[in-house]
Chain A
């Protein structure tokens, strides 16, 4: 059986990278998903639009590690889902409570994942997002929801 194809939002990707453990040192939900990815239990399909946001965040919040992070990300560039066209972004605007989320929604449509992963409940877990799911047959799930889906939570 092929692993689940998961399209992470920038926030989830940042949580997996920067906060895999909680304040007590235990594995956070994002850390559990990271472990499952490393174990090959799920496949990540990542958008150029997501990595562009990640780049900007790392530039400003982690300036001393920027060059090393860029070197780590560079070999992955050919595997990224391309940037959406304006027409593709315009098509998903009705599904977005905030228009700035539209490039990410449009990237998810291009990626055709089994699950779009986001813990941003203001943006991706709204009635509009539900309509997006129905229109494009893409499930939008939280970290907890994904772990449930993968049998790690009841």
Chain B
């Protein structure tokens, strides 16, 4: 027999009636309908977690930038400085060493 776990959920009489009717319309059991609904919901939640939180970050940071009078040009120039610093600190030495070793072969 397929490995299954049992859960018990409490629903209002109205929702129970609605689900029973939907199950009948689809010619599936109430259990099958509930399982399909839970699977769909779980997939939607998982997909949601894969969405980059741009809107939330924007709601947090756009008003802060406006309050401080920060301009896009200033922020992008700072981002460029950050890129150069990260390159120097994390990557440059290893990449240059690799280039040198290939030239010496």
* Residues of chain A at the chain B interface (Cβ within 8 Å): 10-11, 13-21, 34, 37-38, 44, 46, 52-53, 56-58, 60-62, 64-65, 68-69, 72-73, 75-76, 79, 86-87, 89-90, 93, 98-104, 120
Query: Other than the known A21-B62, A61-B78, what 8 A-B pairs have Cβ atoms closer than 8 Å?
Result: A17-B58, A20-B58, A44-B54, A53-B82, A61-B70, A79-B52, A93-B95, A103-B91
The A/B interface has a contact count, at CB < 8 Å, of 118
The chain A residue sitting closest to B83, CB to CB, is: A100
The number of residues on chain B lying at the interface, defined by a beta carbon within 8 Å of a beta carbon of chain A, is: 37
Task: Determine the main DSSP class of A at the interface with B.
Answer: helix
Q: Write the B51-92 contact mask toward A (1 if CB under 8 angstroms, else 0).
A: 111111110111011000010100110111011111110011
What residues make up the interface of B, taking CB atoms closer than 8 Å to A? Answer: 49-58, 60-62, 64-65, 70, 72, 75-76, 78-80, 82-88, 91-92, 94-95, 97-99, 102
